[in-house]
A and B are shown apart, each in its own frame.
Chain A
Amino acid sequence: MGTDNVAALGRRPRTDGGRASAPSRRTPMTWARHGGLTAVVFALPLLVIFGVFSWWPIVSAVIMSFQETNLTDAPTWVGLDNFVAVIEDPLMPQVIRNTAWFALLALVFGYPVPLIGAVLMSELRRRKGLYSVLAYLPVVVPPVVAVLLWKFFYDPRPEGVFNTVLAWFGLGPFPWLSNATWAMPSLVLEATWAAAGATVIIYLAALVSVPAELYDAAEVDGASVLRKVWHVTMPQLRGVLLITLILQIIGTVQVFLEPFLFTNGGPNHATETVMLHVYNLAFASLGNNFGQATALSLMLAVSLAVLSLVYFRATRSWSQS
């Protein structure tokens, strides 16, 4: 954003308005009289709230990862011990595998479906609103409600909701959450249900901004419907598709609610994800291990940052057409 044409707003019109001459005569008094103080007053809520609840916690996360602390007594410095403990944690390989498996399944279930849905919906000439509302409906359901409802749907008895439906097609009954192999896909299915609508709406917004001239031009060249979708629509969506892909990965890698409420990491740690492990280290079963929990969350954040950096590097040439 250019700050080149800064209007001297907040300063009195009688001042020269330019900042070129300001530095030489700048004293606290003139600064305050010219409205510098006003800007500070207006920035105060943001500065205080972000300072205490965003900037400082980020800094203190780094500090805490080198400390042992129970939050009440004075913390002690332990160097890299927390990081070593995270790496040597016997559960860690499985936790990482579980998280990657969740993210991968979420990508397979949840990435293509909203795209296909949105492309179909963008061709609607009537009732587009109805389709959008239906698609977005699960997104507004409180996540705890969704999980508890689906937990009941996943009832492993033959009378369970999903088992009843699948029995109509001669399938099942399936063990769903009570089986180590089935538990993770079940979690992903619910997470996809809850999240897909938001992605559909993002794609729809992007689809509306595809310039109509491009379609007109493709028609002059005699392109069929499918070719128009493939050669005009898809390339125009490329930027949005790339962004939603990495955002989805960043989001799903931090999954907490589903493993926590559905299975609490079970059966036999089959659904214990990194975020749930952070929670367990700090607040639950392993308890009060705040230093190690922070170290693990920092390592997760850094891996995500590296991943996004590599991702944007790798796709840069591709996203700018």
Chain B
Amino acid sequence: MTITDATPSSAPTSRPGTVGAGAPGSVLASTLRRRRRRADGDYPERGALSSSDWRRRPVKYTWRSLHFILLVLLMMWCLGPLLLLAKFAFTPTQDILAQPLAVFPSGATLHNIEQAWTRYHIDRYFMNTVWVALGSWFTQIAVATTGGFVLSVLRPRWSRALNWAVLATLFVPAVVLLVPLYRIIVDPPIGPSLINNYLAVWLPAGATAFNVVLVARFFDSLPREIFEAAQIDGAGAYRLFWSIVLPMSRPIIGVVSVFAVIASWKDFLWPFLVLKSDSVKPLSVHLQSMANVDKGTLMAALAISTVIPIVMFLVFQRMFLRGAGLGGAVKG
């Protein structure tokens, strides 16, 4: 809520370039503003069904039952497997194998969790994942905010070319980068090989064009008058960045942060290639090597790895869902 309130309650951007329908910037800004608008209630949001439709019995009952069926399906399809996983984590292995759907046929146990924790050292890989996520978050935020500041606020003569160079990378599929990026990590321009060094994941994570675009679009929607006022008061570019632009961009930094943390938590192939040793391996890579251990222990390890992202999602759900919608808005 504080996040939404921190959204600059500025008038919609008056710059002609971004107002046109379908311009990603305006969609972005309006998506971020949407909650305010709803709270203000100046225009009721509605779907295809009008209030009078809802008052008609056949319509009402059809849609009510459709919604109920949808809820049941969502529960079974989306929540079901996760509940099952949670149950497996506390079920003895022989029960998991013999009657996977029975609810604790011979009692619950903490043995699996214990095994995962003590014998397979989930805690260590858990901390590795946290480090991977933190570092990737930092580079992504640093690159996206400073880059966005150049592209949207400072706008030197070469910013147009820079903008294109960043946008162009959006169109290069990740598969192309796999081998050349690996070569750079094995044999970087300066220093020794970065294999088994967190930097091998942290640094490439910063080269995410999507973040830069998202942040630059957001900066575009900030009112220019404030920047000008700050300059008249004698603020230089650094002051403008630290004291004006960054504090005003909390909503978008939140969205990018959530994306960054979740992405590094989910990433597999790249860390699998460059973070191989036990001291740096994140959870996702370690789980893959655990695929053939005792089922109960594996299920406990899987459950432990899922808890943090799920909790993060439930706590920051509004930011997540808004961010996911923004993804569509920018891609559109």
Contact = CB atoms under 8 A, between A and B. Distances in A.
Contacts of A275: 175
B22 A159 contact: no
B305 A254 contact: no
A152 B15 contact: no
Contacts of B16: 2
A124 B71 CA distance: 11
Contacts of A54: 169, 177, 204, 207, 209
Nearest to A218: B48
Given A1-B18, A159-B98, A148 B181 contact: no
B287 A148 contact: yes
A46 B150 contact: yes
Contacts of B67: 120, 123-124
B180 A57 contact: yes
A305 interface: yes
Given A43-B162, A50-B165, A56-B184, A161 B78 contact: no
B178 A278 contact: yes
Nearest to A51: B207
Interface string B161-175: 011011001011111
Contact of B48 (A52, A71, A229): A229
A53 B17 contact: no
Q: Place the interface of chain A in its size category.
A: 35 or more
Contacts of A153: 81
A193 interface: yes
Contacts of B137: none
Contacts of B232: 13
B78 to A, nearest CB: 5
B302 A301 contact: no
Interface string B61-101: 00100110011001101110110110000000000011111
B227 A7 contact: yes
Contacts of A201: 321, 324-325, 328
Name, among A225, A254, A293, the residue most crowded by chain B CB atoms within 10 Å (CB to CB). A225
A71 B169 contact: no
26 contacts: A2-B15, A3-B159, A9-B237, A38-B236, A40-B156, A42-B149, A45-B206, A46-B150, A46-B166, A49-B204, A57-B184, A61-B179, A120-B70, A122-B47, A123-B63, A131-B70, A134-B79, A137-B79, A142-B306, A144-B268, A145-B305, A160-B100, A193-B77, A198-B324, A212-B45, A254-B175
